[in-house]
Amino acid sequence: MKRRSLFSSAALGVGLVTALLSLPGGALAQSTPRPAAVAAVQSPDIPAANSMAHAQQFQSIAAANSGNRAHGKPGYRASADYVKSKLDAAGFQTTLQSFTHNGATGWNVIADWPQGDPNQIVFLGSHLDSVPAGPGINDNASGSSSVLETALAVSRADAKPTKRLRFGWWGAEELGLIGSKYYVANLPAAERSKIKSYLNFDMVGAKNTKTWGVYTDSTTLGATFTEFFRSKNIATKGINISGRSDHASFKNAGIEVSGITSGDDPCYHSKCDDINNIESSVMGHSTNAAAYAAWKLAGIPGQALPFRPAA
Ligand SMILES: [Zn+2]
């Protein structure tokens, strides 16, 4: 029963779990009905608390820096430093890429896991800046934390993927996808062609989320997310947010893209988009969806299992 040890009981379907629980203990050893929807890849089950701890750090960074993490403000640079320090300690090859916009310096954080074919890159990204009005926790400490925790899970698993995993945290998204556009525009064509897929995570922690939006830009990539959520008995709907987040910078360069979102909320771009504006269980599902996609698309083999939880 390897799968059950790696996936929550939700993967088996509520009815089946109820049936199993109501049986005498010995009956469990007998033939088990095939679950209706079981995820095809064994990715780690990352505790929601891990991602929430990063989101709390971004909240604290905003609180210590005039209440925001916006482009050109000290809270942005502190956010970038936090992400980079975690990745450096976990063994990633990291780059702090600077750019100038509106007379202020911005930064993208880029991190490569130094395993797998460098000519086939699976890229997960999220924007790291907030608007000046608030700390930007659903938008987008939620995505930044989910992607960071996925990267750290890759390190903890000492993963040996077939393809190269790259992670990005973009500056100045709120001012027009500035950081991601800069990154893509400054990649030589040969480097750009190595990026086989880009997955975007923007606003993935909204309270009371019951249905996740899956970007419809790529049917193939979108199906990876849908497969994960189905294994958890969670509903999805196809959405097209076109040019409204950083995936557009990659799509415009001919790269296959997708992503997920829990959607916005009453505190969108407001002061109240704080740590109380996101929900732990939603963060857990979003983070594990990101990890599932990373494991599946980069081809992390079973030898990387069992997953070693955080110390
Ligand atoms: Zn956003």
Q: 121 with 194: CB under 8 angstroms? A: yes
Among 173, 174, 227, 279, the one annotated catalytic: 173
Kindly report, residue by residue over 154-186, the tens digit of the pLDDT: 999 999 999 999 999 999 999 999 999 999 999
Instruction: Round to whole Å and give the CA distance between 291 and 150.
Output: 5
The predicted model gives 133-152 an average pLDDT of 98
Cα(138) to ligand 1 centroid in Å equals 8
Q: Tokens 């609180």 belong to which residue? A: 63
Q: 246 with 199: CB under 8 angstroms? A: no
Cα(54) to ligand 1 centroid in Å equals 17
Q: What is the pTM of this model?
A: 0.86
CA torsion sign, 185 to 188 to 191 to 192?
Answer: positive
Domain boundaries, the chain: 25-31+38-298
In DSSP terms, 156 is beta-bridged to: none
* Percentage with pLDDT > 90 across the chain: 82
Cα(245) to ligand 1 centroid in Å equals 7
Residue 140: count other Cβ atoms within 10 Å of its Cβ: 32
Q: Is 174 a catalytic residue?
A: no
Q: 232 with 287: CB under 8 angstroms? A: no
Cα(21) to ligand 1 centroid in Å equals 42
What's the alpha-carbon Rg for the chain, to the nearest Å?
19
What is the number of alpha carbons within 13 Å of residue 121 lying toward its C-beta? 22
Please give the pLDDT value at position 8. Answer: 32
Q: What average pLDDT is seen over the chain?
A: 88
Cα(301) to ligand 1 centroid in Å equals 33
Q: 170 with 125: CB under 8 angstroms? A: yes
Instruction: Round to whole Å and give the CA distance between 193 and 213.
Output: 27
The predicted model gives 73-83 an average pLDDT of 98
**Where do the DSSP E strands lie in the chain?**
93-101, 104-113, 117-127, 163-170, 195-201, 211-215, 235-239, 257-261
Kindly report, residue by residue over 22-42, the tens digit of the pLDDT: 333 333 333 444 444 566 678
Cα(139) to ligand 1 centroid in Å equals 5
Cα(142) to ligand 1 centroid in Å equals 9
CA torsion sign, 267 to 268 to 270 to 275?
Answer: positive
Q: Show the tokens assigned to 52.
A: 């929430």
Q: With H, G, I as helix, E, B as strand and everything else as coil, classify residue 248.
A: helix
Least reliable range by pLDDT among 7-11, 46-50, 205-209: 7-11
Please give the pLDDT value at position 39. Answer: 67
Instruction: Round to whole Å and give the CA distance between 271 and 151.
Output: 29
Residues 6+ apart with CB under 8 A from 239: 213, 214, 215, 216, 261
Question: CATH number for the 25-31+38-298 domain, one of 3.40.640.10, 3.40.630.10, 1.10.260.40, 3.40.50.2300?
Answer: 3.40.630.10
Q: Residue 264: pLDDT band by 50, 70, 90 thresholds?
A: confident
